[in-house]
Amino acid sequence: MRAVTTELRVRYSETDQMGIVYHAHYLVWFEIGRTEWCRAAGHPYAEMERSGLYIPVTRVEARFRRRSSYDDAVRIVTRMTRLATRGCTFEYEVRNPTDDLLADGATGHVFTDPSGRPVRAPEAIVSALEAFRDS
Amino acid sequence: MRAVTTELRVRYSETDQMGIVYHAHYLVWFEIGRTEWCRAAGHPYAEMERSGLYIPVTRVEARFRRRSSYDDAVRIVTRMTRLATRGCTFEYEVRNPTDDLLADGATGHVFTDPSGRPVRAPEAIVSALEAFRDS
Amino acid sequence: MRAVTTELRVRYSETDQMGIVYHAHYLVWFEIGRTEWCRAAGHPYAEMERSGLYIPVTRVEARFRRRSSYDDAVRIVTRMTRLATRGCTFEYEVRNPTDDLLADGATGHVFTDPSGRPVRAPEAIVSALEAFRDS
Amino acid sequence: MRAVTTELRVRYSETDQMGIVYHAHYLVWFEIGRTEWCRAAGHPYAEMERSGLYIPVTRVEARFRRRSSYDDAVRIVTRMTRLATRGCTFEYEVRNPTDDLLADGATGHVFTDPSGRPVRAPEAIVSALEAFRDS
């Protein structure tokens, strides 16, 4: 299953008074991971929204295994593990430069119109994402 | 000039690895201050947006004078110091329970339509805000 | 099992371009919920940290069921559903004023010293939290 | 005066319900700009903190001139415009790929020890930053 890797540096604003990354920011990193997965698949999420297809998060789970700190270089490895006409699931690993697992998790999504009503994703998009996922 | 006071508690997520509040969060507190000022003036900002009047921030300045920490109770004191048909200015003081000044600042705003085009605010709203400001 | 309820208003900064609350902010609200649970139990989290006991998040799960928007009043209902000498679990419900469930979830925690090393929580604290939970 | 340019993509989490970047996030981008300026100058900020030198923000000002949106590529151009033994000032421009100015601003800083007490920065660091600034 195709994995897309994105790199980022921990921002000072992402730390908390424990001196480590505040846990909720990992969800923002997951969002960056699926943004880059969609771009790599040829359907940037910004374009999908402009065409009227929204993919809000309905569910999230994450496990925080090791600490990361300000200015650390981290990698987000993203896979789409489920794709249906009604929604999809992404899975994520966050790793440091020596490949230690910092966190992993998953997000569940539904496809909606701009008002939030569930819709089926256009067949052309589903096929394209599927082809990329299996490439 | 009428001042509106709002209280809040510092969130863990608002601290950084210095063990104090990350400076950008004061701008969020300013936003809470003007939300409560508008509500007190009888024109909740959410309603103004629903009616098509937006008041984006065009300018901000802030001075950070003392540190605040997780779980501190802080007060935001908000005044509208300038009001014209095209825009307005708010000023803010952030104080701790013993009335020490933690930070102060100002934000400048223009009135726009939902697409961001500058507009004149409706006369009824300008009058109401003005009456409250001078009350 | 004792539930502690906290109220808050959705901040403008917590919305995203879908016009609703960005999902990661629910984790911040969960944090506020457990801060208030600990305060109600007589052991404010800020004091526990000052005494050297840290309770970092090791796991989170959340389901987002209905949308919430800027300036909505929401309630966070928090329960401690597991307590051991090594860690604990909190569960949360986020509800709107008409009691609709907006989101629910859980966070898992370990007890650590300031450097992040797992420790047993002091017996006095475990007993106090336990007594409150069952009250 | 030496300018350091950093690129980033707007995160979904940085947008608000106006459909544009929430203004406080520009302060986070300024922080990224000065992080990269210090790294380019040979003194990564993370290392300065580890050596006991902190550079908290005491003042900020920013003007928001054009809107930026999710997934936009933006550039932060950072200059150090004042350097003394007690503190320094950075100035920033945020530009889009066609070089339009989105925002500009400045942050004032003091040098402190880990407890927040003002200190003189070590002569070696001041000299190195000064040499880079004028290079």
Q: What is the pLDDT of residue A19?
A: 95
Interchain contact B64–D (C-beta under 8 A): yes
Arithmetic mean of pLDDT, D67-91 = 97
pLDDT band at B19 (very low <50, low <70, confident <90, very high): very high
- In whole angstroms, what is the distance from residue C66 CA to residue A116 CA? 10
Neighbours of chain B (3+ CB pairs under 8 A): A, C, D
Please classify residue C40 by burial: count the beta carbons closer than 10 Å to its beta carbon, then call 0-12 exposed, 13-18 middle and 19+ buried. middle
- Name residue C59's amino acid: R
Arithmetic mean of pLDDT, B77-94 = 98
pLDDT digits (tens, 9 = 90+) for C85-134: 999 999 999 999 999 999 999 999 999 999 999 999 999 999 999 999 99
Q: What is the pLDDT of residue D61?
A: 98
pLDDT digits (tens, 9 = 90+) for D99-129: 999 999 999 999 999 999 999 999 999 999 9
**Do D58 and B64 count as a contact with CB atoms less than 8 A apart?**
yes
Indicate the pTM of the whole model. Answer: 0.97
CA distance C44 to chain B (A): 9
- In whole angstroms, what is the distance from residue B115 CA to residue B54 CA? 9
- In whole angstroms, what is the distance from residue C92 CA to residue D63 CA? 40
Q: What is the pLDDT of residue C5?
A: 98
Q: What is the pLDDT of residue B118?
A: 97
Instruction: Say if CB B38 and CB B54 are below 8 A apart.
Output: no
Q: What share of chain C is helix, strand, coil (3-state, %, to 5)?
A: 25, 35, 35
Instruction: Say if CB B33 and CB B73 are below 8 A apart.
Output: no
Choose among B114, B75, B70: nearest CA to B97: B75
CA distance A72 to chain D (A): 9
Arithmetic mean of pLDDT, B8-28 = 98
Arithmetic mean of pLDDT, B117-134 = 97
Place of tokens 């090594």: C86
Q: What is the CB neighbour count within 10 angstroms for residue C61?
A: 17
- Name residue D49's amino acid: E
Domains of chain A: 4-133 (3.10.129.10)
Q: What is the pLDDT of residue B104?
A: 98
Residues of C with Cβ-Cβ distance to B12 under 8 angstroms: 31, 35, 45
Q: What is the pLDDT of residue D133?
A: 97
Q: Is C45 helix (H, G, I), strand (E, B) or coil?
A: helix
pLDDT band at A114 (very low <50, low <70, confident <90, very high): very high
Choose among A46, A22, A24: nearest CA to A34: A46
Which DSSP letter does residue C120 get? P
Q: What is the pLDDT of residue A108?
A: 98
- In whole angstroms, what is the distance from residue C63 CA to residue A26 CA? 16
Q: What is the pLDDT of residue B79?
A: 98
Is this complex scored with an ipTM above 0.90? yes
Q: What is the pLDDT of residue A72?
A: 98
pLDDT digits (tens, 9 = 90+) for C30-60: 999 999 999 999 999 999 999 999 999 999 9
Q: What share of chain A is helix, strand, coil (3-state, %, to 5)?
A: 25, 35, 35
Instruction: Say if CB D64 and CB D26 are below 8 A apart.
Output: yes
pLDDT band at B55 (very low <50, low <70, confident <90, very high): very high
pLDDT band at A20 (very low <50, low <70, confident <90, very high): very high
- Name residue A91's amino acid: E
**Do C31 and B13 count as a contact with CB atoms less than 8 A apart?**
yes
Q: What is the pLDDT of residue D13?
A: 98
Q: What is the pLDDT of residue C133?
A: 97
Phi and psi at C47, nearest 5°, equal -70, -40
Please classify residue B135 by burial: count the beta carbons closer than 10 Å to its beta carbon, then call 0-12 exposed, 13-18 middle and 19+ buried. exposed
Phi and psi at C126, nearest 5°, equal -55, -45
Arithmetic mean of pLDDT, D69-84 = 98
Interchain contact B98–C (C-beta under 8 A): no
Q: What is the pLDDT of residue D52?
A: 97
**Do D27 and B28 count as a contact with CB atoms less than 8 A apart?**
no
pLDDT over 90 percentage in chain B: 99
Phi and psi at A60, nearest 5°, equal -145, 145
Shortest CA distance from D49: residue in chain A: A70
